[in-house]
């Protein structure tokens, strides 16, 4: 077993580097699927339950792409990302869904990642898996070490606040796996730049600021990524560091629908900056999305032109 497949979907966008360094340190070859194509999207949709959220459909497409290209596929089970938080159920059941999709897939390995556990007891799963791949005990230990080091740099706290650029800032809130996927997001971030605005993303907002905003909520949000999104969105809105916010959600995303309602309601109460909610699905036509973004950005530009004290420019 030398080629270990990694589907370029879901949490690969966050922890992929750590997973790759684990595999490479063992002397094995990581095989990552290509970026999402129309074909991957179609095959994923065809092989998943149609009620599944879009990201799971994308994941399935990538998984099927790796059928011939790998001897084994790595689908880690990311159980927690922060303390006191829960993962989306889809992360918890992902390996099981993967195993139920196609009988001809290469064996799927699902070591646990419990990032809230500061003592890293979960690395034992990875150690055992390395031994099963034929590594020696010392090689397995080295691979685990490499992965932990890589994770540390993934998750290091960011220095400094989000900086402002020329043009005006637009907060783009959504999951990493949607925004960093050029096909799923239709290149949203680049389009915004081309239209003369500066997109700000959730990952660049310091955790300290996110936590501060989350404390003001009446009920704690228990989903990791969603909680970060809400914190970032509230920070942008309350500090007026953006002219407007675009909230990007996936078709049938459970947590996304809940916090979408929360964000809309809270913005309605605070009346700070304009908010636009977009739902992505596998049928999203480029034209529709582009038109909406253009209209929204035009509206923001118009508002700032007529009201010099408003947020477009955000010098903070």
Other CB atoms within 10 Å distance of the CB of residue 206: 16
Q: How far is the CB of 79 from another protein (least distance, A)?
A: 7
Q: How far is the CB of 150 from another protein (least distance, A)?
A: 24
Q: Based on CB atoms, which residue is closest to another protein, 29 or 49?
A: 49
Other CB atoms within 10 Å distance of the CB of residue 253: 24
Q: Based on CB atoms, which residue is closest to another protein, 16 or 255?
A: 255
Binding site for another protein (CB under 8 A): 48-49, 51-53, 77, 79, 86-90, 92-93, 95-97, 99-100, 110, 218-223, 251-258, 260-262, 265, 268, 279
Q: Based on CB atoms, which residue is closest to another protein, 19 or 251?
A: 251
> What is the b/e burial string over 278-295, where b = at least 16 CB atoms within 10 angstroms of the residue's CB?
bbbebebeeeebeeebee
Q: Based on CB atoms, which residue is closest to another protein, 49 or 203?
A: 49
Whole-number Å distance between alpha carbons of 13 and 29:
19
Q: Based on CB atoms, which residue is closest to another protein, 50 or 137?
A: 50
Strand blocks (E) in 238-307: 244-250, 275-280
Confirm if 316 and 241 have CB atoms less than 8 A apart: yes
Q: Based on CB atoms, which residue is closest to another protein, 56 or 192?
A: 56
Q: How far is the CB of 122 from another protein (least distance, A)?
A: 13
Q: Which residue bears the tokens 């964000």?
A: 263
The H-or-E segment that residue 125 falls in is helix 123-132
Whole-number Å distance between alpha carbons of 249 and 192:
17
Strand blocks (E) in the chain: 3-6, 29-32, 72-74, 77-80, 108-109, 112-114, 168-173, 197-201, 244-250, 275-280
Q: Based on CB atoms, which residue is closest to another protein, 41 or 252?
A: 252
Name the DSSP class of 273.
Answer: S
Helix/strand/coil (H, E, C) string of 86-110?
A: ECCHHHHHHHHHHHHHCCCCCCEEC
Confirm if 37 and 237 have CB atoms less than 8 A apart: no
- Helices 54-65/38-47 angle, 10° precision: 110
Q: Based on CB atoms, which residue is closest to another protein, 125 or 181?
A: 125
Q: How far is the CB of 146 from another protein (least distance, A)?
A: 26
Q: How far is the CB of 249 from another protein (least distance, A)?
A: 8
Q: How far is the CB of 99 from another protein (least distance, A)?
A: 8
Q: Which residue bears the tokens 């993303």?
A: 201
Q: How far is the CB of 27 from another protein (least distance, A)?
A: 29
Q: How far is the CB of 60 from another protein (least distance, A)?
A: 10
């Amino acid at each position: 077993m030398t080629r270990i497949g990694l589907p370029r979907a879901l949490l690969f966008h966050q922890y992929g580097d750590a997973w790759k360094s684990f595999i490479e340190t063992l002397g094995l070859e990581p095989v990552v699927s290509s970026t999402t194509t129309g074909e991957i999207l179609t095959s994923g949709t065809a092989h998943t339950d149609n009620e599944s959220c879009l990201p799971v459909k994308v994941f399935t497409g990538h998984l099927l792409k790796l059928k011939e290209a790998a001897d084994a596929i790595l689908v880690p089970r990311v159980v927690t990302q922060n303390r006191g938080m829960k993962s989306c159920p889809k992360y918890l059941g992902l390996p099981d869904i993967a195993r139920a999709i196609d009988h001809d897939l290469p064996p799927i390995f699902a070591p646990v990642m419990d990032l809230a556990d500061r003592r890293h007891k979960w690395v034992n799963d990875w150690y055992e898996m390395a031994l099963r791949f034929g590594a020696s005990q010392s090689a397995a230990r080295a691979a685990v070490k490499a992965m932990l080091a890589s994770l540390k740099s993934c998750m290091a706290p960011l220095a400094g606040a989000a900086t402002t650029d020329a043009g005006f800032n637009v907060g783009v809130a959504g999951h990493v796996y949607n925004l960093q996927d050029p096909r799923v997001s239709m290149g949203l971030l680049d389009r915004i730049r081309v239209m003369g605005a500066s997109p700000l993303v959730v990952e660049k907002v310091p955790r300290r600021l996110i936590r501060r905003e989350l404390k003001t909520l009446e009920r704690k949000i228990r989903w990791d990524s969603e909680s970060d999104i809400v914190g970032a969105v509230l920070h942008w809105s309350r500090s007026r560091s953006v002219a407007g916010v675009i909230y990007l959600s996936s078709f049938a995303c459970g947590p996304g629908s809940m916090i979408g309602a929360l964000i809309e309601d809270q913005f309605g109460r605070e009346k700070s900056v304009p908010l636009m909610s977009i739902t992505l699905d596998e049928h999203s036509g480029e034209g529709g999305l582009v038109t909406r973004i253009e209209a929204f950005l035009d509206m923001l530009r118009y508002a700032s032109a007529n009201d010099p004290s408003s947020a477009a420019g955000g010098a903070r």
